[in-house]
Chains A and B, each alone.
Chain A
């Protein structure tokens, strides 16, 4: 039984990679967009580029995982291919987890490329374990967020449009370009409620160690966000089929 589910999750993720993710639109959103954004800030103050790396990686994680995730579930619901998956010995929960894993794997690929290029170009020496400890749950969190938005709406384009709001909100509030500490107190409070804050904070700590259990704290908070996104997404998808 559980073998059926694990196999289903894995192959759905691989199929999604091939069908949706390794295509120009997903790659441009997932990698080129964060790079272009970061380049714009680099040109403004070239000396501080190393400080932008954690923000660049956080944006890559955010945009690569959500690039197609917000679209694929609704798209497949409309085509009937999602229903086709449910005819196999795979549960609705496993189908959703497969979709989330697809976004995760694509995000991991994009993030690894950007991280490796940044590290080698700038000669940085990050704490690789800390980097992984933050990047892995973050990729799952934002892939789940894309899935949640996807199952929350009926139209394919609605999910993308709706998702842009929190995405850009997070880019400005969560320390990607401005430190959270430099924001007004009310916005700092708001930033604390957003998962990208903990991604940026954790990544920053992996590049520029600050001491203390920062990774673990951010890791745990990201896991909480993962549950907060994943559970309602599963419940909503169940409801779509009820």
Chain B
């Protein structure tokens, strides 16, 4: 009986850059056929982790395996079955779409008699067949992204790393790419996805790991993550003026609740007793002569869960001014 292999297993993985511990003893595993989201703020260590897993850098501690091959010793073997879409579309500007895919097919050792059919199939799936003879350099950003993904699929990988696949794409291109990613999952491909778009992660991922300052702070399903914030109330206020300068004042009135300034006039308040929050904010509005345009409770989103877990938000009034409940990580 064959043993089922987890496509990715990381055990206490470490990566240092000088004194900076970029990846700090992280452990996780990715199951076969799932889309595993890897989220975190900039500089949290996501890219360092991916670079180790795809063989572009070596771990300095811990153990990892990709498709059962141990890193870094067996990375060359693993690479045969791994596709990688980096955050930048880095194919050759001077080569046509067809030549780029042909080069990748040859590099990965795709049998000669299968090269043409695979290339044609991918170009058709990605809507690029009509432009197959055009140079990559002449493509739009969305088309470049699509061809970069096609290039990563040319050798029919079992595991696909997608680093920020929809960044910089317009809404239509991003939507079509997302549906393509879903199709790939349906075909049984395991996908390791990093994205800045939380809605995208919510929509696509089976499980999500959240990384902060080199550590994985939570791994759960999107629903599981959202449940973390479902127990507390979330109220959003839109003011008629700029309240950013009054953040400290508002924060000091909220008791145990935490407030995040979404922009200069919008504030989201997490936790606390809702009637008391409304009273406090209305009083704040009267005292500072700033009208309230809208107020309402909102359904917790993955973004709320992410903000709560990472301790990040654009501005956290209570914490910054020392009047909040003090989840020290927020900045």
Contacts and interface: CB of A to CB of B under 8 A. Distances in A.
A91 B92 contact: no
Given A18-B95, A242-B57, A83 B107 contact: no
A1 B79 CA distance: 11
Contacts of B107: 7-8, 11-12, 85, 88, 90
Contacts of A3: 109
A19 B91 CA distance: 12
Interface centre among B80, B84, B93, B107 (most CB of A within 10 A): B107
B55 interface: yes
B180 interface: no
Interface residue tally on B, bucketed by range:
20 to 34
A5 to B, nearest CB: 8
Contacts of A1: 76-77
B92 A88 contact: no
A15 B108 CA distance: 14
A18 B99 contact: yes
Interface residues of A, number: 25
Contacts of A83: 56, 86, 90
A163 B106 CA distance: 33
Interface in B115-153: none
A81 B109 contact: no
Given A84-B90, A91-B76, A4 B109 contact: yes
B91 A84 contact: yes
Interface in B76-103: 76-77, 79-80, 82, 84, 86, 88, 90-95, 99, 103
A20 B77 CA distance: 30
B104 interface: yes
A12 B104 CA distance: 10
A4 B86 contact: no
A80 interface: yes
Nearest to B79: A89
Nearest to A86: B56
Interface string B43-86: 00000000000111100000000000000000011011010101
A241 interface: yes
A80 B109 contact: no
Nearest to A8: B107
A74 to B, nearest CB: 15
Contacts of A186: none
Nearest to A3: B109
Contacts of A18: 95, 99
A14 B93 CA distance: 16
Contact of A11 (B80, B86, B93, B106): B106
A79 interface: yes
A19 B94 contact: yes
A19 B100 CA distance: 11
Contact of B54 (A4, A7, A87): A87
Interface in A81-109: 81, 83-91
Interface in A220-242: 241-242
Contacts of B86: 80, 83-84, 87
Nearest to B103: A15
A80 B57 contact: no
Given A1-B76, A7-B109, A18-B95, A87 B56 contact: yes
B90 A19 contact: no
A212 to B, nearest CB: 45
Contact of A87 (B84, B93, B99): B84
Interface of A: 1, 3-4, 7-8, 11-12, 15, 18-20, 79-81, 83-91, 241-242
9 contacts: A7-B107, A12-B107, A20-B94, A79-B90, A79-B93, A85-B107, A88-B79, A89-B77, A241-B56
The 8 closest A-B pairs by CB, nearest first: A80-B90, A89-B79, A11-B106, A88-B107, A87-B84, A84-B90, A19-B94, A89-B80
